[in-house]
Each structure stands twice: as structure tokens, then as C-alpha cells.
Chain A
Amino acid sequence: MEKRRILIVEDSPTMRQLLVFALRRLKNVEIVEAQDGMDGLRKVSSDHFDLALIDINMPVMDGLKLISLIRGDDSLLKIPIVVITTEGAKEDRERALSLGANEYLTKPIQANKVLSVARGLLKID
């Protein structure tokens, strides 16, 4: 079975490590990390990904800008996007979802929630 590739775009190394720890429990996945929106855009444009986890507040390019660029590119249109952020307000959630995010998770993150959402979007057990 082909490996599923997951991109984590998050400026906090602590959060990245935590997400990697959680997602490693999924079978047959390869995880790639990006430390800001620009790095994320470079990686998502140059390689195939089955899922992207994106933080909102990041230096260089924020997560919302990255989502709008991904959704504006026909070749990247179908990548499922999960937003992971500290912003818990309803309007922030609606904005991210209207830009094309598939799921919206708020910090502090719960590994089992991340896993369940990732499993659902990757359609794996």
C-alpha cells in the first residue's frame, strides 16, 4: 500500500514534535514538517501530500494565507486541510472553513482528536 504523506505547518517545535508523536501512530504514513507558511507552501507545491495540518499564527506567512493559496491552485485543491490553532472564536473558525479548511481544531490539542480527524480525512482505520 502506498504511503500517505502528511504535512505539518507549524512554527512551534514543541507543537510539531507533539503532532509528529500523535500521527506516527497511524500506519504507513510519512510526515513532513514545515516551520512557517512560506516553507509550507514550498513543500506542498513541490511534492504530493494527502493531508496538511496548518497553524494559523505563524511568522513569514500565516496559515490563512497559506490555505487560500492552496485552495487557489487547481493542482492542490483536493488536499484535506486541518487547522490547528489557539483561536477559539466562532468567527475565526468560520473564516478558516470558508477559505477551504476541512477541519478546525483548537489548542491545547488532544492527540486522540487529531488522530481521529486525520483517520477520517485519510479514510484509514
Chain B
Amino acid sequence: MSDDRSNIFDRQEEFLGIFKKGAEFTRELLTENERLRRKILGVEDQQHEAAQNPDDWEKLRVELIGTIANLKEENRSFRERLVESEEENRKFADRYVEIEEENNNLANLYVASYQLHSTLDVDEVLKIVIEIVINLIGAEVFAVYLLDGKNEELRVVAAEGVPPSEIPNCPLGKGSLGRAVAATETTCWDATRSDDYTEPIVCIPLLIEKRPIGAIAIFSLLQQKEGFTPLDHELFNVLGGHAATALFAARLYGQSERKLNTIQGFLDLLTQ
């Protein structure tokens, strides 16, 4: 009997626990319901207010559309400026490359003329001419001629790539070389190699006041050199003028040195 009673009490306790939980849950539901109800009322009030002032909405809408249009315009303007800046940047970069190239070319021309006038020894000048033609122009086989005024003949005084004896002298005004020198004009023929040493691919007359004193004839270019650049043509001009004056000055200096030595010899004989 007492077992039945304790069982009933246990179940009563259990039931009360469940009921309390149910009551708690119901309270929570009511609270949440109240919260949502208030929220709906707030939204309804907002809608109500908005519905009462449609002009405000329109004004706001117009303002927003204006702001968007301004931002779009600003964006477009920035994009245009970006494109302009990029274009300007590209032009500056191109100009920089051009100036660099110009600088390099000027350095080459300066070095060539500086070296040509750095000595009064004919052999040294010839050596420098050869260095310039190899290192700055990129020729493989070429010859330097000096004009023998008495015989009107271009005589080989130096050569590179083949022994000078293999390259024939050339009468002034005859053959491609002789005619180009007589015409006092640097001439380039449309080829990168000639095995005929009377037919060069380039002839650079060495001129002093438009009077030929010799020539440089190029017969072939170095393997890696594919053709002539604008700088090469500038170098042809430098060689045509500066090599001529350097060789002429060196020859005059050599002659005056020899004359001076002869006179000095006579004076020594007379004073002995």
C-alpha cells in the first residue's frame, strides 16, 4: 500500500515538473509574440508615415538618383584620366627609350671621333679606324685605302679579315669603289657580303673639304650583324670626315717630323 502511495507521489512530482516546463515555454511564447507584435506595429507605423509623405520619398529618390549620376560621371572622368595617364606614361616610357638610344648613339660617335683624334701617328690612326669599323659598325672584312694623288689610285694601306695583299688597289673613278670615291659620296650597295674585293658592299670616301684622300671599303659583315642601322650611317659620316682629317694630320705631322730631323741633321753637321 505504501509502495502505491510513493509511486503516486513520484508521478505527481513528474507531472508538476512537466507542467512547469510547459508553463515556462508558454510564457516564452507569449513574450516572443508580444515582441513580434510590437515590431509589426512599428513597421506599420513607418509605412503609414511614408504613405502620408510621398513627396519626401520622391525627393529622397531624386536625390539618390542625382548622387548615383554624379558618382557615375566621376567614375567615368576618373577612368578617362586613368586612360590619359596611362597613355602619357607610355609616351614618356617610349621617349625615355628613344633618349637612351640617342644617348648611346652619341656616346658611340663621341668615342669614335675622340679616338680618331687621340694620336698623330698614321699607324695608330689606321688601327683606330679598324677598331671602329669592327667594334662599332660590325664589319668582318674591309680595307682602308689612301689616294696616291700622282697616279690617281686608291692604295690599300690596311685590311681586316684578309691579308692586305689580297685586296687590289683601285684606280680613282673606275669600278664601283673608284666611282663612289670620285663622286665623294658614301655608297651602300644592297648586299651583306661580297667575295669580290673590287665590289664592296659599302664605300666610305675619306674627304677633306669634299676632296677625297682615301676610302674605307666594307666587303662583309660579322655573322651576327644583319644590316645597317641609322647609327651606322652616322658612323660612316664620322669616319668619312674625322678619319680623313686624323689621317691627313698624322701624315703631315710625320712629314714635318722627318723634315725637322733632316734640318736638325744639317744644323748638327754645320755646327760640328
**Residue ranges of A at the interface with B (Cβ–Cβ < 8 Å):** 12-15, 17-18, 21-22, 86, 88-89, 106-112
Q: A14-B115, A18-B111, A109-B135 are in contact. Are A89 and B223 (CB under 8 A)?
A: yes
Task: Find chain A residues with CB under 8 A from B225 CB.
Answer: 108
CA distance A112 to B108 in the complex (A): 12
Q: Can you name the residue of chain B whose Cβ is closest to the Cβ of A13?
A: B115
A12 (CB) vs chain B CBs: closest residue: B131
Which residue of A15, A22, A88, A111 is within 8 Å of B135 (Cβ)? A15
Q: B223–A88 contact, CB under 8 A?
A: yes
Interface of B is mostly: helix
Task: Tell me the B residues contacting A by CB distance below 8 Å.
Answer: 100-101, 103-104, 107-108, 110-112, 114-115, 118, 128, 131-132, 134-138, 140, 222-225
Q: Is the CB of A112 within 8 A of B115?
A: no
Pick 16 A–B contacts, CB within 8 A, sort by A: A13-B115, A14-B111, A14-B115, A14-B131, A15-B135, A22-B107, A86-B140, A88-B222, A88-B224, A106-B224, A108-B135, A108-B225, A109-B135, A111-B104, A111-B108, A112-B104
Complexed CA–CA distance, A32 and B127 (Å): 23
Chain B residues with Cβ below 8 Å from A14 are: 111-112, 115, 128, 131-132, 135-136
CB neighbours (8 Å) of A15 from chain B are 131, 135
Residues on B with C-beta less than 8 A from A21 are 107, 110-111
Q: What separation, in Å, do the CA atoms of A108 and B132 have in the docked complex? A: 9
